Amino acid sequence: MLLRPRGTYSLHAIEAMTARTLTIGGITLRGRFGEFLKGARRAAVFVVTAGGEISRRAKARCEAGESLEGLVLDAIGSWAAESAAQALAVRLGEQLGPGESFTLRYSPGYCGLHLRQQLNLFRLADAGSAGVALTPALLMQPIKSISGIIGLGPRDEVGEHLSPCELCPLADCRMRR
Amino acid sequence: MDEYPDLRNAILTGSAPSAAAAAKKALEGGADPVAIVEKEVGPAMNEVGRLYEAGEYFVPELLLAARATKEVFGILRPLLAKKGAKPVARVVIGTVQGDLHDIGKNLVAAMLEGSGFEVIDLGINVSPDKFIAAIREKQPQIVGLSALLTTTMPAMKTTLDGFRNAGLRDSVKVMIGGAPVTQAYADSIGADAFGENAAAAVSVARKLVAC
């Protein structure tokens, strides 16, 4: 099967949060939580994946000289991982109380959440159950996977930003929206 | 004036079968393989690069044109070799250690191959030692380093330091690229060149071997 989307999450009460730290499940994470999880009372740690087959197929097509097919398969893999994250958010929506909403999704490697935090995220969420593992360089395998944290809290308190770029200091980023 | 407009059009429209047929027809008509490369294939790929830079072509068109050209080189290469004509240059390319992303690097490799370069692709998560062994064994003129993440980008510097420590830094030109990579970063780690995208990588590589 080309795509095998899977995902898992764990939901935690926020034990403590400062501008630069978040404590959940007895573990203190470091990052710009004061901005990204502003207003949150609970935090969901999640891992989703599109599975590994799509990337294996993309690689094989590239190696066979069919780079365009490889590129398209790779893009489908990215789309599938993103779709899995959105599907997980829908599932997580069932956990929202009356008048509650989500914060932005905050993932390691972005905006001050160092890749080292992957270790903590993988401790908090049962990533293995989604078939996702970390490499020694702390990248996820399968590569078309997304990990992160989403805050849940009162709708009028959580930061409802239009774009994460508003919180990002990389002014000359080519991906800025 | 085009001597073999069918070939040029086939490359510009990204049709590998038509390009191969046009190249064979030209050869059957007595065309010099070197002239085919110089008058049609090279200018066609330059035009593809120009159209990409102008925003008229996108990555799929680049790749189709590169595939068409690779097909033509497959036909011409044995004849070019007989005439003593060599590839533009030999390039060793890879994604640096710790990084598993290869699609950008594959695009650059396809474009370089389609532009007459010989490409040796070391794959992903390539250690400095593996690059160094490839330099020693394959004697490339250019080494291309790719990274997709800000967190793996520093491995480019580590790799270049490895080349220096191995006494190989001056024997190759090093070009770097990838989503977070900039000219300023290339300058800061002492790389010879930065390719902003797959089309730019070809012109950058040509300049590196011309100087």
Convert the pLDDT of each residue in B62-75 to its tens digit.
Answer: 999 999 998 999 99
Residue A112 pLDDT grade (very low, low, confident, very high; cuts 50, 70, 90): confident
Instruction: Indicate whether B155 and B58 sit together in one domain.
Output: no
Kindly report the pTM of this predicted structure. Answer: 0.83
Return the pLDDT at A165. Answer: 78
Q: Using CB atoms within 10 Å of the CB of residue B149, give its burial: 0 to 12 exposed, 13 to 18 middle, 19+ buried.
A: buried
Task: Quote the ipTM score.
Answer: 0.77
The closest CB to that of A65, out of B60, B70, B182, belongs to: B70
Q: Do B17 and B103 reside in the same domain of the chain?
A: no
CA-based nearest distance A67→chain B, Å: 6
Q: How many domains does chain B have?
A: 2
**pLDDT value for B155:** 95
How deeply is B205 buried, as exposed, middle or buried, from its count of CB atoms within 10 A (0-12, 13-18, 19+)? buried
Per CB-CB distance under 8 Å, the chain A contacts of B67 are 65-68
Cα within 13 Å of Cα(A45), Cβ side: 22
CB of B96 closer than 8 Å to CB of B191: no
Could you give the CA distance from residue A161 to residue A171 in angstroms, rounded to a whole number? 17
- Residues B79 and B94 reside in one and the same domain: no
Q: Report long-range pairs for A133-137 (Cβ below 8 Å, ≥24 apart).
A: A135/B98, A135/B100, A135/B125, A136/B98, A137/B97, A137/B98, A137/B99, A137/B125, A137/B152
Q: Which of B102, B110, B182 sits opposite A59 (nearest CB)?
A: B102
pLDDT given at position A167: 78
Mutation test of the interface with chain A: which of B13, B71, B102, choosing the one with the most A Cβ atoms within 10 A? B102
pLDDT at residue A160, as a whole number: 64
User: CB neighbours (10 Å) of residue B14?
Assistant: 21
* CATH number where B195 lies: 3.40.50.280
Q: Which domain holds residue B43?
A: 5-83
- The whole-number pLDDT of residue A172 equals 64
How much is the average pLDDT of A135-140? 91
CATH of the domain at B39: 1.10.1240.10
Q: What is the pLDDT of residue B84?
A: 83
- As a whole number, the mean pLDDT across chain A is 91
φ/ψ of residue B83, rounded to 5: -85, 0
Q: Indicate the residue among B83, B108, B129 that finishes a domain.
A: B83
Residue to substitute from A66, A67, A174, A176, interface B, most B β-carbons within 10 A: A67
Which of the four pLDDT bands, split at 50, 70 and 90, describes residue A174?
Answer: low
* Residue ranges of chain B whose pLDDT lies below 50: 1
Task: Please tell me the distance from the alpha carbon of residue B82 to that of residue B33, in angstroms, as a whole number.
Answer: 10
Write the residue in B101, B110, B152 that is nearest to A67 by C-beta: B110
Question: Are the beta carbons of B144 and B177 closer than 8 angstroms?
Answer: yes
Pair B72, B96 in one domain: no
User: How many contacts (CB atoms, under 8 Å) link A and B?
Assistant: 56
Which residue on chain A is closest to B113 by alpha carbon? A65
Residues B124 and B107 in one domain: yes
Same domain for B21 and B77? yes
Q: Does residue A27 sit in helix, strand or coil? A: strand
pLDDT at B1: 46
- Residue A101 confidence (pLDDT): 92
HSE toward the beta carbon, residue A158, CA cutoff 13 A: 21
Enclosing H/E stretch for B143: strand B142-146
Number of residues assigned to chain A: 177
Dist. CA B96–CA B144, nearest whole Å = 10
Contact B103 A71 (CB under 8 A): yes
**Rounded average pLDDT over A150-160:** 88
Q: Are residues B100 and B204 in the same domain?
A: yes
Position A67 scores a pLDDT of 87
CA B122 to chain centre: 14
Q: Is A46 left (phi over 0), alpha (psi -120 to 50) or beta?
A: beta
Burial class (CB in 10 A: 0-12, 13-18, 19+), B49: buried
Report the chain A residue with the minimal C-alpha distance to residue B69.
Answer: A65
Q: What is the pLDDT of residue A49?
A: 97
What residue spans of B54-190 are helical by DSSP H?
A: 59-82, 103-114, 128-138, 154-165, 183-189
Mutate to test the interface with A, among B151, B153, B158, B185 (most CBs of A within 10 A): B151
Among B14, B49, B83, residue at a domain's last position: B83
Q: Are residues B70 and B103 in the same domain?
A: no
Same domain, residue pair B29 and B112: no
What is the distance of C-alpha A108 from the center of its chain? 7
Interface touch B60/A68, C-beta < 8 Å:
yes
Q: How far is B1 from chain A (nearest CA, A)?
A: 31
User: Which chain A residues have any C-beta within 8 angstroms of a chain B C-beta?
Assistant: 58-59, 62, 65-68, 70-72, 74, 109, 114-115, 135-139, 141, 143, 172, 174-175
Q: Are residues B102 and B28 in the same domain?
A: no
Laid out side by side, the sheet with B118-121 consists of B118-121, B90-95, B142-146, B173-177, B193-194
Are residues B17 and B97 part of one domain? no
Is B27 in the same domain as B75? yes
What would the pLDDT profile of A63-93 be if each residue is shown by its tens digit? 888 889 999 999 999 999 999 999 999 999 9
Our CA-based measurement puts residue B199 at a distance from the nearest CA of chain A, in whole angstroms, of 14
- pLDDT tens figures, A97-108: 999 999 989 999
Instruction: Indicate the residue among B58, B83, B108 that finishes a domain.
Output: B83
Give me the percent of chain A exceeding a pLDDT of 90. Answer: 74
Give the Cα separation of A70 and B167 in Å (integer). Answer: 37
Q: Are A157 and A39 in contact (CB under 8 A)?
A: yes
Q: Do B59 and A71 touch (CB under 8 A)?
A: yes
